[in-house]
Structure 1
């Protein structure tokens, strides 16, 4: 679905942001692109959407070179950017203007999403708060029914109830034909949503595994005393005790802690990666 091969890109000459980057993403998954601010997440998403062009290497989406932005490519991909502009029109006028670009747009689903997000459908877009505008754009993105949906920091500006609603509507939207890529540095917002993890740090992809493989190989638990556990790969202390990651040596079933895993990969990458290799 998305195939990036030997991609090199730089904003400034002789200072590559990405160098020889390799990544392949398949349909039927919700990918979480995780990383700190400035890690290169937005740049990578813009490469996929054809808004930035590789210096060398290739980025293909559904078999189309994304940089060429062919009509057949554009009608099957939608990007929800972190920063966006919405015109001074009503919601209805916005839909009437932009929906025709997407042949599979479902107007009924769009207004259903608006209702779930508690957004008035007759309001002018410029009269809305940032969070309300973000919900309108997310609703429109889902209603396009494109094969590739890319979201850059979509939970920024959403309150806690809206983040929960966001996870519900995204989970319901996934299908075998769709590839959804969501980037965030607010890792906990993607708990119980994504099924594959891509972590980017230092402008490189340092971890790429599906959630099932992670829970097969690693165990996540909370203990009162660290001394009670052996083979600890990472630990974080809090008021409840110590949350730890260990090698899953006994086929234990544990719930993945996305934030704990993210911090573990950033601080103790090598021994964890060796388990997966």
Structure 2
């Protein structure tokens, strides 16, 4: 893959990341509150009709306030499509660092009272969704290696494209587990390094890196469209180097233990697919440097920074 195409991938991933992070900045943040009681009622704003019954712990986006009511966005998980509803101010607590929404005149003076369940018949328990859900994902991105001089000498670039995929298990409390497999493959040439100077040998050399990683992370429950998440984990990093004239003893095929941390932003949608951008830093100690260019440049870490665009499939 040419360096120009790799740079184009890097530019597109960076633009996507900047756009989502800008939308997630405080200037775009909405007021949020958490429901403090079980079986709290959200009323429709245009009539005395119950829109939803919710339990304590649900986070709602607040768009307005009066003496008696908060105006909220009815979550998509409860069948909402951007409609507004009313919930009693006594049943909401603002989240930390969240500001009060604008105070204004709201409908709802003809609603029963601040105890919205009084006079109503008992309602059946409302579904809260499964305790655990599973999703698959695919991703493409760009990885910049910590061993910059070694990769530049062999492949011509200290970075390159990577592709991969995996599965994710999500839990209601916001925790998630991930298992992923990625691949980086680039063909360069064998080199000889002497006195810090690189001498190409003209022998093709294909470098393949395949990280198989497991991660645990946390995605805070929120009603916002953009959902941040952070996590970390470990994995087995397979390194292969193959040249056409190698004997069996000359081929490199090794596995090394590595560690990583990651963070990202996911755009929640109403469909079964959701885009996300992610930044990851990995370290694979003592995986290089026993010979060749890596030894000459005293570089021993196979890890580095990675920027990826991801598409998640499932609920």
Normalising by structure 2, what TM-score?
0.22
Higher relative contact order (CA 8 A, sep 6+): 1
Normalising by structure 1, what TM-score?
0.24
Higher Rg of the two aligned structures = 2
Question: Higher helix proportion, which one?
Answer: 1
